[in-house]
Every structure is written in C-alpha cells, then in structure tokens.
C-alpha cells in the first residue's frame, strides 16, 4: 500500500527492505524474521500499486508428507483466503496420497500433468520440485513469470543451471539465514531477484492438547528417515535426561540407516517408520519434542506443528529454530548435548512451566505465522511479479 508504514521488531512482520541489508544487489524484499528484540526500526514504505493478482499456477502438488509439500498446502489456503484462484499443474501422476488432499473440493483448478502450453499468461510457482527445474526450458516458453521456492539450506544443481540460463525470475525464501547460505551461488550468474515471504501455518489442522498424562513423561521426535536429521548424540540425550516419572519415547522416521548411525535405542524408546503415525496422534502423545540434528534446518515445519499442538519444543540453537522459539518462553534452545539434557530434564520436572510455555507457543504461531502476517508478505511478492511483467 502506497505510503504505508511498517515495523521491524520483535514480532515477525513483513516489510519492504532493500536487499543491500543482506548483501545482495538492490531489490525489494518482503522480509519475515524476528530480530533485534531490544530495538525497533520503523521504515516508510513507498510502492506502486499494480493491478491485483487474481490467479496463479502451482507446478507440482502439495501432500501431507514432507516439509515443502505441507508448506505448499498451507500457502494455497492463504492464497485462496486472499481471493486468488489457484491452478495446479503437476509434474507426475496423481496418486492416492495427492488425491486425498481434495484440492478440487477446495476450489483449485487442475491442468493436465505437464501441460506446459496451458500455462500461457500465468504466474507460476514451485516449491522444491526437481521436475519443475528440469522442465523450465519448456515452461519458460509460456509462463508469464517463474518463481522458485528453495525450502532447503543448500542449492539444487538444476537450480543453479536454470538460474544461469535466465529461467527463474524470482527466488523466494522463508528465512534470512537460508538466503545467506544459498544466494552466493546465484548472485553473479544472472539477474537475481530474491524475495522473502512469511509462510502461513494452518493451525486448525493441529488441535491444541493441554490435558496430558502425568504418570509418565512422554517425549519424541519426528522427521523423514534421513540419518543427517538425527544428531550423533541423540540417543545419549534421551538416555541421560531425567524425569520425576517414567520416561517414554517415540521416534518417527526411524530406518535401518538411522539405526546404523545411532545404534539400537533403549527399551523405553519406541521407534516407527515415517508416516506410520499421523502427526496429530504423535503430538497428542508427546509432552515434549526433542530435536537435535546434524543438519542446518531452514524453517522446521515440525516445530510449528509441535507448538500449535501444545508439545514443548527442545531444539538446536541454530538454523531456523531461533526464529520459531523464544528460549525459555515458547520453547527451549540448546547449544550442545549437555544443554539438551538440562533443558529436557527441566521440561520434565516443571509441569507449571510447561503449561505456561505451551499456551504462549500456540499464541505465537497463531500471530507470527497466521493469515494476516502471511498475506501481507504475499501481497508484496505478488506486486513484484506484476511489476516485472
């Protein structure tokens, strides 16, 4: 909105910021991050008001499995809330998992798979879809603009190749730290237009559970079965932490490769493959979710799921976790294994503190990652699309 004033402060607000603040060529950003808790920066935002976007096309398909696919699903809800007609052109076969999303019932319009000619005049966007990258030479012939969302903290080989060929108009990021990790490989190859957005999180899918068993301390972790997702000292943390009652662990995403890395867990820890228990049932079971990883996370969706569900998050003090959690108020952040043990144990012993923390965490998700905050950021992204062509 022309002449509007936006605020950068402790809460997660979206605003237009010159890219030079993050070390890139000058371009406008819609930036969603929580920084400078003791400072407040007020900036006047001047922008033009191009015609509003009324439709877009997703290349790929959302699902209930994987962070990028679930994030896409929630963004579709936000776009529809904004009055945008969402079209979907998948890169493969619609299996039962994808059909279960019931996108047509939710008002989406399907194109035939890989019907790139049908994209004529559309602004298209894709979330971490490798087939999309490999098809960009053809998509470029028809799409009005092309946006790529890299949800990771590393570059795809085809992302670099397609950007060098000028086939990506906008690169979208959820966090400043992910941008800093992946942008160096892109900046000097071609015109680089980075945009940030605040991803919407649909809390309604994750009921808040406050009444939990008191005769045992149930904890767990959930991820895909990637050994790098598990810290080498993961089981040591679980075994060393203490509780005033029996400990009971549940680890989803276990695999032979994970066991080869970590060893066999103790009897009080139950393991199961990814997807064998629904997210909602997992969080209903777990009083706390303890994430320690050997990877550098971008913006962990599992953290938002846990916070929305009332499960206390104990996580690494790096990557996207500090953007989600306020240490000691909405969760716990840890620098090393010993701090994990201390804070997980404290979580187990301090029932009143847990109760207050879970309430604050749910409220934070609803505000910082709700429809209003997300829609503001997407409005700026769409304005950039319309301004380009």
pLDDT digits (tens, 9 = 90+) for 294-336: 988 899 999 999 999 999 999 999 999 999 999 999 999 999 9
Helix/strand/coil for 333: strand
According to DSSP, residue 274 is labeled T
Tell me which of 110 and 19 has the higher pLDDT.
Answer: 110
pLDDT at 365 over 50: yes
pLDDT at 50 over 80: no
| pLDDT band, very low/low/confident/very high, at 51 (cuts 50, 70, 90) | low
The helix (run of H) or strand (run of E) holding residue 30 is strand 28-30
User: Which pLDDT score, from 0 to 100, does residue 273 have?
Assistant: 94
Classify residue 376: in a domain, yes or no. no
pLDDT at 62 over 90: no
Classify residue 98: in a domain, yes or no. yes
336 and 188 co-located in one domain: no
How far apart CA 6 and CA 193 sit, in angstroms, is 22
Tell me which of 357 and 15 has the higher pLDDT.
Answer: 357
pLDDT digits (tens, 9 = 90+) for 112-154: 999 999 999 999 999 999 999 999 999 999 999 999 999 889 9
User: Which pLDDT score, from 0 to 100, does residue 56 have?
Assistant: 98
325 and 184 co-located in one domain: no
Half-sphere CA count of 175, side-chain side, radius 13 A: 24
Residue 8 has phi, psi (to 5 degrees) of -110, 115
How far apart CA 41 and CA 43 sit, in angstroms, is 6
Owning domain of residue 269: 204-368
Half-sphere CA count of 140, side-chain side, radius 13 A: 14
81 and 217 co-located in one domain: no
| pLDDT band, very low/low/confident/very high, at 97 (cuts 50, 70, 90) | confident
How many CB atoms are located within 10 Å of the residue 213 CB?
A: 11
pLDDT at 284 over 70: yes
Classify residue 42: in a domain, yes or no. yes
Please report, for the domain that includes residue 123, its CATH number: 3.40.50
Average pLDDT, stretch 15-23?
Answer: 38
16 and 127 co-located in one domain: yes
pLDDT at 12 over 90: no
Classify residue 382: in a domain, yes or no. no
Q: Where are the alpha helices (DSSP H) in 82-164?
A: 96-99, 130-134, 136-139, 157-164
Last residue of a domain, one of 144, 174, 200: 200
Classify residue 387: in a domain, yes or no. no
Classify residue 195: in a domain, yes or no. yes
| pLDDT band, very low/low/confident/very high, at 63 (cuts 50, 70, 90) | confident
338 and 219 co-located in one domain: yes
269 and 180 co-located in one domain: no
pLDDT at 92 over 60: yes
Classify residue 378: in a domain, yes or no. no
Q: Are 176 and 207 in contact (CB under 8 A)?
A: no
How far apart CA 78 and CA 105 sit, in angstroms, is 16
136 and 278 co-located in one domain: no
231 and 307 co-located in one domain: yes
User: Which pLDDT score, from 0 to 100, does residue 342 have?
Assistant: 98
23 and 152 co-located in one domain: yes
| pLDDT band, very low/low/confident/very high, at 67 (cuts 50, 70, 90) | low
pLDDT at 25 over 70: no
If one counts the domains in the chain, the total is 2
Classify residue 259: in a domain, yes or no. yes
pLDDT cut 90: percent of the chain above it: 78
Last residue of a domain, one of 160, 175, 200: 200
Please report, for the domain that includes residue 219, its CATH number: 3.40.50.2000
Label residue 170 left, alpha or beta by phi (over 0 means left) and psi (-120 to 50 means alpha). beta
271 and 216 co-located in one domain: yes
How far apart CA 289 and CA 366 sit, in angstroms, is 19
Label residue 253 left, alpha or beta by phi (over 0 means left) and psi (-120 to 50 means alpha). left
217 and 193 co-located in one domain: no
174 and 290 co-located in one domain: no
């Amino acid at each position: 909105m022309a002449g509007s004033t936006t605020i950068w402060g402790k809460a997660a607000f979206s605003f237009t910021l010159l890219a030079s603040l993050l070390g890139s060529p000058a371009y406008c950003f819609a930036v969603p991050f929580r920084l400078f808790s003791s400072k407040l920066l007020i900036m006047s935002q001047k922008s033009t008001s191009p015609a509003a976007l009324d439709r877009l096309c997703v290349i790929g398909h959302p699902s209930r499995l994987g962070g990028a696919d679930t994030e896409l699903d929630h963004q579709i809800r936000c776009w529809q809330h904004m009055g945008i007609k969402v079209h979907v052109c998948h890169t493969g076969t619609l299996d039962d998992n994808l059909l279960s999303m019931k996108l047509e019932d939710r008002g989406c319009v399907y194109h035939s798979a890989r019907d790139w000619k049908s994209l004529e005049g559309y602004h298209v966007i894709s979330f971490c879809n490798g087939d999309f990258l490999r098809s960009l030479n053809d998509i470029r012939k028809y799409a009005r603009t092309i946006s790529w969302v890299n949800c990771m903290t590393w570059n795809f080989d085809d992302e670099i190749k397609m950007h060098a060929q000028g086939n990506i108009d906008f690169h979208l990021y959820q966090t400043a730290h992910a941008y800093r990790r992946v942008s160096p490989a892109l900046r000097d190859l071609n015109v680089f237009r980075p945009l940030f957005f605040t991803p919407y999180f649909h809390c309604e899918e994750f009921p808040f559970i406050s009444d939990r068993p008191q005769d045992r301390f149930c904890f767990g972790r959930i991820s895909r079965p990637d050994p790098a997702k598990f810290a080498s000292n993961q089981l040591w943390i679980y075994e060393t932490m203490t509780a005033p009652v029996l400990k009971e662990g549940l680890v989803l995403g276990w695999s032979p490769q994970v066991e080869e890395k970590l060893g066999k867990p103790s009897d009080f820890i139950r393991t199961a493959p990814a997807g064998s228990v629904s997210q909602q049932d997992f969080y209903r079971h777990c009083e706390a979710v303890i994430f320690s990883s050997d990877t550098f996370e971008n913006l962990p969706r599992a953290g938002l799921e846990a916070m929305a569900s009332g499960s206390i998050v104990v996580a690494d003090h790096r990557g996207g976790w500090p953007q989600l959690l306020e240490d000691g108020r909405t969760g716990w952040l840890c620098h090393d294994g010993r701090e994990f043990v201390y804070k997980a144990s404290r979580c187990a012993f301090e029932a009143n503190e847990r109760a207050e923390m879970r309430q604050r965490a749910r409220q934070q998700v609803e505000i910082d990652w709700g429809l209003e905050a997300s829609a503001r950021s997407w409005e700026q992204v769409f304005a950039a699309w319309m301004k380009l062509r």
